[in-house]
Amino acid sequence: MSAVEPKRTLSPLENVAPNTTQIDLEYLGQLQMIASCLLEGEGGTALVDPGPASALDMLRAKLGQRGLSIADVDHLVLTHIHLDHAGATGTLVRENPRIRVWVHERGAPHLIDPARLIESATRLYGAKMNWLWGEILPVPAGNVQALSGSERIRVGGRTLEVVYTPGHAWHHVSYFDAANGIAFVGDTGGIRIANRGYVSPVTPPPDIDLESWEKSLEQIRARHPTRLFLTHFGSADGVDEHLGELAERLQAWSDNVRKSLENSGDDAERANRFVQEVTANLARRLGEPEADRYARYVGLKQCWYGLARYWRKRGYTP
């Protein structure tokens, strides 16, 4: 992403709770695609999921709206290490070596040595890799705080309960701010499109596991948050309805992919049919421009491959 132009009007910050600020990273110039959350208070300033390195100029500009800079950030609180959530981590730590990075223990080694992460992402994104995600730098081991998913950490003027929430990724955790009723749920909580109430999962390879995901949703419900914070996108009320729609759509997509494996044709044809069907459904709900924008960002074709891998690992080969 190019540097922020001096005369550009930035989208406003949004306070979602006391000392809790939603930051639209305006990813690739698009609004409401990737959100980070700024937590301020005793215990040090924190960012939940700082986003990709390609959005760093925007992150710096948005922090500037609060009178802050990267030098003022004490903690990075990661739900997982996928590049849209955590790709900027290494660069941020290089700029501010005081930063502590909180991440699940299964993700920590790939922050310290991101070679495999970079290799797999480059295979997927090819020549667009740098444009999409920017430079991925290693994080010194001394800055990394590995979590198992049973801790309580003190950051940004609050205590966050850490809960292991796999399903989307084996190294995924969620953070619960009981004092404010907010659950920071990363991609386990799905995506809400353009604040219009359409909720969907994101199911790329290789870690999708439906049974684990269902248990993770139960973990979220059991803590009775009044609000979810979604990286894609932002603060969401109506928690029970949101999680219910997510579970239903995850099951519907899974059934669709399983049935598609019974059809003739190769995987590319099956994946394309899935994309067409989901995009058509989206268009009926949101209109074609928003549906196309969503389909491109989410990577619906990769969602098919993630669910197909899930079924094949379980021996489903009709």
User: pLDDT per residue over 190-211, tens digit each?
Assistant: 998 766 668 999 999 999 999 9
**pLDDT exceeding 70 applies to what percent of the chain?**
96
Report CA 282 to chain centroid distance, whole Å.
20
To which residue do tokens 């990273």 refer? Answer: 25
Question: Which range (26-30, 152-156, 187-191) has the least confidence?
Answer: 26-30
Sequence-ordered alpha helix ranges (H) in 205-299: 210-222, 239-260, 267-286, 288-298
Could you tell me if 207 and 120 are in contact, meaning their C-beta atoms sit under 8 angstroms apart? no
Query: Strand 14-17 and strand 20-24: pairing?
Result: antiparallel
* Domain coordinates in residue numbering, the chain: 14-239
* Tokens at 202, concatenated: 């994101």
Decide if pLDDT at 4 tops 90: no
Looking at residue 203, its pLDDT comes to: 96
Distance CA 39, CA 45 (A): 6
What gap in Å lies between CA 307 and CA 255, rounded to an integer?
A: 9
pTM across the whole model: 0.93
In this structure, what token pair is assigned to residue 309? 């891998």
Q: What is the pLDDT of residues 120-150, one digit of tens each?
A: 899 888 999 999 999 999 999 999 999 999 9
8 pLDDT higher than 80: no
The rounded distance, in Å, linking the Cα atoms of 149 and 129 is 31
> In the prediction, which pLDDT does 194 show?
63
pLDDT tens per residue, range 32-65: 899 999 999 987 899 999 999 999 999 999 999 9
Which tens digits make up the pLDDT trace of 279-296? 998 888 888 877 877 777
Task: Please name the helix (run of DSSP H) or strand (run of DSSP E) that holds residue 116, with its range, or none.
Answer: helix 115-125
pLDDT at 196: 64
Q: What is the pLDDT of residue 318?
A: 62
pLDDT bracket for residue 156 (50, 70, 90): very high
* pLDDT of amino acid 54: 97
- The answer on pLDDT for 258 being more than 50 is yes
- The answer to whether residues 59 and 51 touch, using CB atoms and an 8 Å cutoff, is yes
- Predicted confidence band at 153 (pLDDT cuts at 50, 70, 90)? very high
Question: What is the third-level CATH fold of 14-239?
Answer: Metallo-beta-lactamase; Chain A (3.60.15)
**Predicted pLDDT at 292:** 79
Query: Do 146 and 109 meet the contact criterion of CB atoms below 8 Å apart?
Result: no
Q: Is the pLDDT of residue 5 over 70?
A: no
Q: What is the DSSP letter of 272?
A: H
Tally Cβ neighbours within 10 Å of residue 248: 11
